Structures are given as C-alpha cells and as structure tokens.
Amino acid sequence: MTAPDIEAWQAWEPRGIATVLSGVDVPWYVAGGWAVDLWLGRISRAHEDLEIAVPLTDVVAYADGIPFLRPELALFFKAKHARPKDQQDFDLVAPLLAAADRHRLRSWLTLVHPGHRWLGALSG
C-alpha cells in the first residue's frame, strides 16, 4: 500500500460537503475556520481543511442552508493553539460578535485558558 500524496491534497469546501451529505439523515455542521467564514459571509483566508461535526446541542447556525458551528464556539476551539490562522479568525470575528456571544467566549476562555491573550480583547 502506498501513502497518499500529501502535496495533491485539496480540501473540500462547505458547498461540496453539503452536497455530499444532503441525503444523510443525521444533523451535522461545519466547524473550524470555515465556520468563521460562513458566519462572516465571505472567504477571509485560504483553508487547508474542512472540519465537520455532529451537534450535541443547539450550537448551529446557517448560511445559505449550510449548517455551521457558532463563531464564539469556533473561536473557543481555536484558542487552544492560537496559530496565526486562528489569530486571524479571532481578529476578524471578535469585534463583530454580539455582546452576549463575546461574554460567553470570554467566560469559557477564563475557565479553560486563564490568562489567554484573547481575554483582553474580549473585555471591552
């Protein structure tokens, strides 16, 4: 068995996975960086992957019929590593979050990642 050619990798986009999963009778949503872009309503950066998940609770929003993880949750999961792409997503989304969503993200970060560098930006 040969290993797959990593250089040939092309990540799917949300519309493609929505088509593939259109007949699946299980709720699902787009997570990660694509969730941020679906919430923004535009592609903000290149994406090397597409994460999808199955919801446990009501954590899903919709953009053009494609379910995606709420942006404050997407940022919460990205906070663990806070790579440059995660920081870019945070910088784009945090100022646009509703006050309640900003508060929720701040409380989660305070609990799980006390002292996280995003906390200061969320306090205003």
Rounded Cα distance between 22 and 5, Å, is 28
Distance CA 94, CA 105 (A): 9
Could you count the other beta carbons within 10 Å of the beta carbon of residue 4? 8
* 15-45: pLDDT as tens digits: 999 998 888 777 888 999 999 999 999 999 9
108 assigned to some structural domain: yes
In-domain check, residue 61: yes
Structural domain of 107: 6-122
pLDDT in tens, 55-95: 776 567 788 888 888 899 999 999 999 999 999 999 999 99
The candidate with the shortest Cα–Cα distance to 35, out of 69, 83, 7, 75, is 69
Asked if residue 16 belongs to a domain, the reply is yes
**How many CA atoms lie less than 13 Å away from 7 in the CB half-sphere?**
0
Answer whether residue 28 is part of any domain: yes
In a domain, 111, yes or no: yes
100 pLDDT band (50/70/90 cuts)? Answer: very high
- Asked whether residue 45 is assigned to any structural domain, the reply reads yes
Tell me how far apart the alpha carbons of residues 30 and 28 are, in angstroms, rounded to a whole number.
Answer: 7
Count structural domains, the chain: 1
CATH value at residue 58: 3.30.460.40
